[in-house]
């Protein structure tokens, strides 16, 4: 029996107030449709912001992390990560091939929680 999976997945997301504000904007823009269907594109921007704020972020578990955006996500196993870099309030993962991946919604203060969720020791540079 495997001991993997003892840690729950940790999700880093932006403040929920962003999604609420964008959702209220969508509701506020609906009456424009009573005037003309040409106002329909006005709904797309706050709707996209609502979906982005609800979906975008970083999910971390013992196997790796997933960076989520509005329409796509990308998974990175811990085996390809050389270290974590905190620059200001942004955290990036340095991959073995030299590329940097920004961990969306992860702040420098979140590094201890991120490392604990990974279940291993990772190099951190500040």
All domains of the chain, ordered by start, with CATH? 10-125 (2.30.29)
In the sheet that holds 100-102, the strands lie side by side as 100-102, 90-95, 81-87, 124-125
Q: What is the pLDDT of residues 49-86, one digit of tens each?
A: 999 999 999 999 999 999 999 999 999 999 999 989 99
Q: What is the pLDDT of residues 93-117, one digit of tens each?
A: 999 999 999 999 999 999 989 988 9
Model confidence pTM above 0.85: no
Q: Which residues of 49-81 are buried (b: 16+ CB within 10 A; e: fewer)?
A: bbebbbebbbbbbbbbbbbbeeeeeeebebeeb
């Amino acid at each position: 029996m495997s001991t993997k999976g003892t840690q729950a997945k940790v999700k880093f997301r932006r403040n929920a107030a962003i999604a609420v504000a964008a959702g209220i904007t969508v509701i506020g823009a609906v009456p424009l449709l009573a005037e003309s269907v040409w106002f329909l594109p006005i709904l797309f921007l706050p709707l996209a912001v609502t979906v982005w704020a609800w979906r975008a972020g970083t999910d971390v578990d013992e196997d790796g992390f997933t960076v989520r955006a509005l329409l796509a996500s990308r998974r990175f196993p811990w085996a390809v990560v050389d270290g974590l870099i905190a620059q200001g309030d942004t955290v990036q993962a340095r991959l073995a091939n030299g590329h940097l991946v920004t961990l969306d919604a992860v702040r420098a203060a979140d590094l201890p929680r991120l490392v604990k969720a990974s279940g291993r020791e990772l190099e951190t540079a500040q």
